[in-house]
Amino acid sequence: MSGFWSARRVMVTGGAGFLGRHVVERLHAAGARHVFVPRSAEHDLRDRDAIARALRDGRPDVVIHLAAVVGGIGANRANPGRFFYDNAIMGIQLIEQARLAGVEKLVTVGTVCAYPKHAPVPFREDDLWSGYPEETNAPYGLAKKMLLVQGQAYRQQYGFPAIYLLPVNLYGPGDNFDPAGSHVIPALIKKCVDARRQRLPFVEVWGSGAATREFLYVDDAAEGIVLAAERYDDPEPVNLGAGFEISIRALAALIAELTGYRGELRWDASKPDGQPRRMLDTSRAAERFGFRARTDFREGLRRTIEWYEAMPAAGTPTAAVPIQKGAT
């Protein structure tokens, strides 16, 4: 521990969500003694006055903004207006109120969905503006992307120390397994576990299976966020990822193997694949603040499956929003 966190008060929006809980744990492990998590019942971050009240209540030196309304492809297609408005208004007003409150540093956690649909792989931060995002999650991705613009503008005009991180798709224990809003890994785990228990002959999977994704274990993501908050203070966005890609077809086969499901994986090509490929260049995070993902993907999946199967009511829907991060 460097002593950096012991001397600072921290506010973590979305700190009770999937990623947020891990970030809060990481902060405590790093020596933070004052971590404030505003809850939506008392502090609705879509409301300017509620944000100002949260900042008065928490009196933070550092704000880590994780709160988001998120979901998989289906949720994004069903709620484009909500996903745009809620994510944009929360971030825009939080950054402004944090500036007015004299916050020492603000960390905005964006999304890989901000990248153009056909960005060169691996995605480099300099390619962020080279095209339009994948259509099914563009409203969400663009809403989060505007917070990068705002942070850079505030740094330029006011000297406000805002940084912006771009994590790839996350997974791990505590993820959202509700089919109405879950992402691909928890959705596949639930389908395979349910099918194994019910002895179903096949599991239906959306798309062709040809799309690729990169996944970052949630503990690794939390470590990267806390390291960046302590060590990074530049306007350029920074990717957080694991530096590999896997096809959805290979992912589904791996999850079926690890869950013990032996039935057929049946692909519904009438459903969208989402972005064709997704993999980040992670060199900037390594160079600027020493972050490298450490969790082996197969081991991370095994831990996630074990956590899910150990839940007293595995398969019971959990709250879909607000949690963080990513689309498919």
| Least confident stretch, 27-36, 63-72, 156-165, 287-296 | 63-72
Active site members = 140
Instruction: Give the domain ranges of the chain.
Output: 5-170+215-240, 174-212+244-277+296-310
**pLDDT of 53 above 70:** yes
Backbone angles phi, psi at 25, to 5 degrees: -60, -40
Digit-coded pLDDT (tens) for 241-280: 999 999 999 999 999 999 999 999 999 999 988 889 999 9
**pLDDT of 123 above 90:** yes
Which residue in 171, 137, 166 sits closest to 69, CA to CA? 137
Sort 85 into a burial class: Cβ within 10 Å, 0-12 / 13-18 / 19+: middle
pLDDT for residue 40: 86
pLDDT for residue 315: 47
275, 211 in Cβ contact below 8 A? yes
What number of CA atoms fall less than 13 Å from residue 102's CA on the CB side?
Answer: 2
Please say whether the dihedral angle defined by the alpha carbons of residues 225, 230, 236 and 241, taken in this order, is positive or negative.
negative
**pLDDT of 317 above 70:** no
Quick one: three-class SS letters along 130-174? CCCECHHHHHHHHHHHHHHHHHHHHHHHHCCCEEEEEECEEECCC
Neighbouring CB atoms inside 10 A of 98's CB total 24
3-class secondary structure, 13: strand
Digit-coded pLDDT (tens) for 218-244: 999 999 999 999 999 999 999 999 999
**pLDDT of 320 above 70:** no
The CATH architecture assigned to 174-212+244-277+296-310 reads Alpha-Beta Complex (3.90)
Domain 5-170+215-240 CATH superfamily: NAD(P)-binding Rossmann-like Domain (3.40.50.720)
* Stated pTM of the model: 0.92
What the block records as the tokens of 106 is: 């603000």
